[in-house]
Amino acid sequence: MKNIGYLDELIKEHDNPITYFTEVNQRMTEEENKSKSVQITINTNEMVSTSTSDLNNTGFTVLCKIYNELKIHQFMFAEKDV
């Protein structure tokens, strides 16, 4: 999320600020989508020993990586301009 200002101020700068910033938003989204990718490699032939504690939180690690890459915490707890 990005604060762009108040509509009454933006009207002075742009003929149609809503259309302008809709296009800016689309460009920013496209650029962000191009630069982001997540790759997870899993060796399905490797055996994991059940006698060690390495298995603890294995699933959490994958989900935590995805959670952080998507910046869910920032989205959910971002200050909303009212």
Instruction: Quick: pLDDT tens for 11-68.
Output: 888 888 888 889 988 998 888 887 777 777 888 887 766 666 665 667 777 888 888 8
Does residue 13 belong to any structural domain of this protein?
yes
Nearest to 37 by CA among 82, 63, 12, 69: 69
Judge contact between 14 and 20, C-beta under 8 A.
yes
Does residue 16 belong to any structural domain of this protein?
yes
| Domain boundaries, position 60 | 7-42+54-76
Ramachandran category for residue 57: left, alpha or beta (phi over 0 → left; psi -120 to 50 → alpha): left
Greatest CA separation for the chain: 68
Give the chain's domain count.
1
Judge contact between 67 and 38, C-beta under 8 A.
no
Residue 20 makes CB contacts below 8 A (sequence gap 6+) with: 14
Does residue 2 belong to any structural domain of this protein?
no
Give the pTM: 0.40
